[in-house]
Structure 1
Amino acid sequence: MSMIIPHSTKDRRAKKPLRRFLGRLARSTSAVSAVELGLAMPFLMGLSLTGIEVVNLALIHVRLNQLAITVADNASRAKQTQVNGAPQFREYDMNQVFRAAALQGEDLQIPTRGRVIVSSLQVNSQGGQWIAWQRCWGLNSWTSRYGPQGTGATGTSFAGMGYTTTKMTADAGTAIMFVEIAYNYKPFFLGSILPSKVIRKEAALYVRDDRDLTQIYNPSPAQPVASC
């Protein structure tokens, strides 16, 4: 004769193996490191990507600063020697300076993501500072912080160039090649989180040796003018 077991007793017996399994699982210490790593992985990935982003941004700042210095240096040296007069600075020389900048910053995509502005800071006829000429390179439309070509042509109201409180000023009879670079920085990894930003760098150098400062010459065959 078979014994009839109440339904509630069967349920309790069926649950015992499950409880024992859960108990063993709770007491188990195997694979704890894997579990902890899985839980920490999102945080570690975010920290790693942020570190890479910070390093990349720092490198961009350094490279743009070096590019501005190089452009100012090249623009201050370039000239065409003349037999019966002071050496001339030509549109050809300016275009060569921009070509050198293109090679130096090729992987930065300066033509599409940046703009290089070269200004000749000189002394006007009243003894004030003025931007005698200005040339630009790059497809973006950023303008100079200090005004376009011709700023300060008369009078002494134009203080000079430079983002600090003490402005840079040229001496009579010479010129300063003042370079501004504006660059549209896009985050390397965190583009969906961090917004793009415009990085600006500046550099300036006095013109080396003598130079005809009256204009940029464009002898035949004429070269394209990189006007702003």
Structure 2
Amino acid sequence: MQLMTTKFLKMRATLRNLRRDTQAVSTLEFALILPLFIGLGLTGIELAYMSTVNMQVSQTAISLADNASRLGQTDNSSVTPTVTEADVDSIMSGAMRQGETYDLMENGRIILSSLEYDDTTGLQYIHWQRCQGDLDRDSMYGDEGINNGLGSKTIEGVGLDDSLITAAPGSAVMVAEIYYEHNGILKGTFGETAHFREEAIFAIRDDRNLGPGITGSGGESSCDTKTGGGGGGGGDGDDDGKGKGKGKG
């Protein structure tokens, strides 16, 4: 009995000393909360990086639509210029170069559409459309083929539902859409892949001949392939001035 009492007293003394010992308490507390701080810090970095990339995608869309609206301004001839495949390839390549910092070619898709007014029906339609990028995405508005707005599916306009933008007769609206899959710095450690979609819309600022659509051949921005290339439809004009698409963009 005395032996048990002695052991009990020693145990109480040990616990009492342990309770009074405050050495390394701060280190222990820091070790316990360090994983939380690391998680919060990395999450903040991911969110900041995602916001930066989203802004860059938006700026690329704005630049593409702006450049597309000025395609005929450098033409000094007396003949009203048309848009050529080379013109479109140039601005599409510029957009891809702008997106190199966030791997736009591998993880994204840029789609440029020319929304125009059809004099015969009074409808809005996509006269031509060009694409680049490896991501498999289609325009939310349609394509230059059977979904160009002159068939069963009409196009009321582009942009926000409460303030749709339409092309005026004899003019066109350049619509740039960019789809992008963002994997993050740590490749999905803090969640699934984020999907961005940004668009920019500019009315043309030049005097261009809209009738033929896109002229020339050998374009590298066809919507028939993921990265573009191989030339596209929409460059052949018919008698009523509407380009004939080659298929779904």
Match of 1:88 among 82, 85, 90: 82
Deviates further, 190-199 or 13-22 = 13-22
Partner of 2:113: 119
Output the CA distance in 2 between the equivalents of 1:62 and 1:34: 41
Deviates further, 182-191 or 62-71 = 182-191
2:171 is the alignment partner of 1:179? no
Partner of 1:226: 222
SS in 1 for 2:91: helix
Instruction: Report the residue type matching 1:81 in the other structure.
Output: D
Could you tell me which runs of 5 or more consecutive residues in structure 1 were left unpaired when the two chains were aligned: 1-5
Instruction: Report the residue type matching 2:45 in the other structure.
Output: I
Output the CA distance in 2 between the equivalents of 1:51 and 1:171: 45
Partner of 1:211: 208
Which structure's CA Rg is the greater one?
1
2:125 is the alignment partner of 1:130? yes
Give the CA deviation at 1:17. Answer: 5.7
Deviations 1:161-198 (A, max 9, x none): 12433321011111111011111122333714411132
Instruction: Report the residue type matching 2:104 in the other structure.
Output: I
SS in 1 for 2:191: coil
Instruction: Report the residue type matching 1:147 in the other structure.
Output: G
Distance 1:157 1:100, change over 3 A: closer
Distance 1:85 1:97, change over 3 A: same
Distance 1:156 1:109, change over 3 A: closer
Give the CA deviation at 1:76. Answer: 1.2
Give the CA deviation at 1:155. Answer: 9.3
Partner of 1:191: 188
TM-score (norm 2): 0.79
Instruction: Report the residue type matching 2:171 in the other structure.
Output: T
Distance 1:127 1:82, change over 3 A: farther
Output the CA distance in 1 between the equivalents of 2:45 and 2:219: 43
Give the CA deviation at 1:154. Answer: 6.3
- Aligned-residue RMSD, C-alpha: 2.4
Distance 1:199 1:225, change over 3 A: closer
Q: How does 1:39-58 map to 2 (within 5 A)?
A: 39-58=32-51
2:150 is the alignment partner of 1:153? yes
Please say if residues 71 and 206 of structure 2, whose CA atoms lie closer than 8 Å, have aligned partners that are also in contact: no
Instruction: Report the residue type matching 1:217 in the other structure.
Output: T
Instruction: Report the residue type matching 2:136 in the other structure.
Output: S
Partner of 1:60: 53
Please say if residues 187 and 195 of structure 1, whose CA atoms lie closer than 8 Å, have aligned partners that are also in contact: no
Q: How many residues align?
A: 219
TM-score (norm 1): 0.85
2:104 is the alignment partner of 1:106? no
Could you tell me which runs of 5 or more consecutive residues in structure 2 were left unpaired when the two chains were aligned: 224-248
Output the CA distance in 2 between the equivalents of 1:29 and 1:69: 61
Please say if residues 174 and 202 of structure 2, whose CA atoms lie closer than 8 Å, have aligned partners that are also in contact: yes
Please say if residues 113 and 184 of structure 1, whose CA atoms lie closer than 8 Å, have aligned partners that are also in contact: yes
Please say if residues 128 and 156 of structure 1, whose CA atoms lie closer than 8 Å, have aligned partners that are also in contact: no
Partner of 1:33: 26
Partner of 2:134: 139
Output the CA distance in 1 between the equivalents of 2:48 and 2:186: 12
SS in 1 for 2:75: strand
Output the CA distance in 2 between the equivalents of 1:183 and 1:205: 21
